[in-house]
Amino acid sequence: MGFHLDQVSYGTLINGLCKVGQARAALQLLRRVDGKLVQPNVVMYNTIIDSMCKVKLVNEAFDLYSEMVSEGISPDVVTYSALISGFFIVGKLKDAIDLFNKMILENIKPDVYTFNILVDGFCKDGKMKEGKTVFAMMMKQGIKPNVVTYCSLMDGYCLVKQVNKANSIFNTMAQGGVNPDTQSYNIMINGFCKIKKVDEAMNLFKKMHCKNIIPNVVTYTSLIDGLCKSGKISYALKLVDEMHDRGVPPDIITYSSILDALCKNHQVDKAIALLTKLKDQVFEDLFVKGYNLDVYAYTVMIQGFCVKGLFNEALALLSKMEDNGRIPDAKTYEIIILSLFKKDENDMAEKLLREMIARGLL
């Protein structure tokens, strides 16, 4: 008679395929469920719909939703939440709202996850009024916002440069019985740093320590970037040391911020020293983790050399970045070429200009 998979086995296999990003293969497997011995169920459909939405195959996911309805399988809150999220991911806000309204009409109650998708979708699009309306709606329906809800609102307000409103949301979290986590602090620290309120960001950082909330690489990098842009490079360098002491290795974004600040403040010597130190200390580590100095970091260093008139060093670094698999972009070339022309190094400038044209960067 042969071996037959049961409903649980099919569900497990479909889930496994979706988890490794094989939504299409999962769909093919669903097609093999014959409906005689084993019935496809809402969980199988939901798993594939969710997986498709995550990789932006939203139209196909919606077709699958239509198919399940025609097969007499009733969509649930998970189905609708996955599709609403998918529509937001591909920027189809109207479709997301229409589906939310359809869900309500069909007496399917949205849960905190559904509301979070809506709040986050509106906030990411800078539509704070709509985000707040959804927040009020969930409160009215007796669904308690969680840390994700608050973070979406704070992030949205920071995005539209209304950091004070984000801060008041941050302060009301605890009153609502929700404890801010590292992500919450990161949003506010980054928000304050972006509007040059580094002291407020530092106060929040100290508050994290007091409350035993562990800062991560994002926390430190936001602060370091803020301090660097405010000209407080020595403080930023102290934080890099603290990162090492606390076992939080700085990433390439952290180093780029410092290199940028050092070069713009004409402290190229310190930048070179840091680059050399990077080579000795954590370059191996960065390579192992798949990091490397990016084009931006090299360009910053080259700019620093050019400002000081150290063209041989700038050209050596241009060559070095190529050796490390980082292809210079138009900005990198422009910085060197303009600096060379200013210093009457016309032959070298023209040589690089020809090289730039040959690479199709002009």
Distance CA 299, CA 332 (A): 5
Instruction: Report the half-sphere exposure of 29 (CA within 13 A, side-chain side).
Output: 22
How distant, in Å, are the alpha carbons of 32, 153, 240, 341 from that of 187?
A: 46, 10, 20, 43
Distance CA 98, CA 87 (A): 10
Q: What is the pLDDT, as a whole number, of residue 286?
A: 46
Q: 278-306, pLDDT tens digit by residue? A: 654 444 444 444 445 678 777 877 887 78
The DSSP letter of residue 216 is: -
Q: What is the pLDDT, as a whole number, of residue 3?
A: 53
Question: CB under 8 Å, gap of 24 or more: what pairs does 176-179 form?
Answer: 176/144, 176/145, 176/150, 177/144, 178/145, 178/146, 178/147, 178/150, 179/147
Provide DSSP, 269-321. HHHHHHHHHHHHTTHHHHHHTT----HHHHHHHHHHHHHTT-HHHHHHHHHHH
- Per the CB < 8 A criterion, the answer to whether 259 and 275 are in contact is yes
pLDDT digit of tens for each residue in the chain (362 aa)? 445 667 777 778 877 877 877 877 777 777 777 666 677 789 888 988 998 899 999 999 999 999 999 989 999 999 999 999 999 999 999 999 999 999 999 999 999 999 999 999 999 999 999 999 999 999 999 999 999 999 999 999 999 999 999 999 999 998 888 999 999 999 999 999 999 999 999 999 999 999 999 999 999 999 999 999 898 988 998 998 899 899 998 887 888 788 778 877 777 777 767 766 665 444 444 444 444 567 877 787 788 778 778 888 788 888 877 877 788 888 888 988 998 888 888 888 899 899 889 988 87
Q: What is the pLDDT, as a whole number, of residue 309?
A: 82
Ramachandran region of residue 214, left (φ > 0), alpha (ψ -120 to 50) or beta? beta
- Per the CB < 8 A criterion, the answer to whether 337 and 353 are in contact is yes
Q: What is the pLDDT, as a whole number, of residue 124?
A: 93
Distance CA 116, CA 124 (A): 12
Domains of the chain in start order, with CATH, are: 1-109 (1.25.40.10), 110-180 (no CATH)
- Quick one: tokens of 235? 């403080």
- Per the CB < 8 A criterion, the answer to whether 112 and 143 are in contact is yes
Helix axes 295-307, 330-342, angle to 10 degrees: 10
Beta-carbon contacts of residue 27 (< 8 Å; ≥ 6 apart): 48, 52, 64
Q: What is the pLDDT, as a whole number, of residue 157?
A: 96
Q: Specify the amino acid at residue 333.
A: Y
Q: What is the pLDDT, as a whole number, of residue 293?
A: 62
Distance CA 264, CA 107 (A): 59
For the chain, the residue count is 362
As a whole number of Å, the end-to-end CA separation of the chain is 69
Q: What is the pLDDT, as a whole number, of residue 328?
A: 87
pTM: 0.76
H helix and E strand count, the chain = 21, 0
- Per the CB < 8 A criterion, the answer to whether 220 and 253 are in contact is no
Q: What is the pLDDT, as a whole number, of residue 283?
A: 47
- Per the CB < 8 A criterion, the answer to whether 50 and 18 are in contact is yes
- Quick one: tokens of 302? 């080259």
Distance CA 186, CA 201 (A): 9
- Per the CB < 8 A criterion, the answer to whether 271 and 263 are in contact is yes
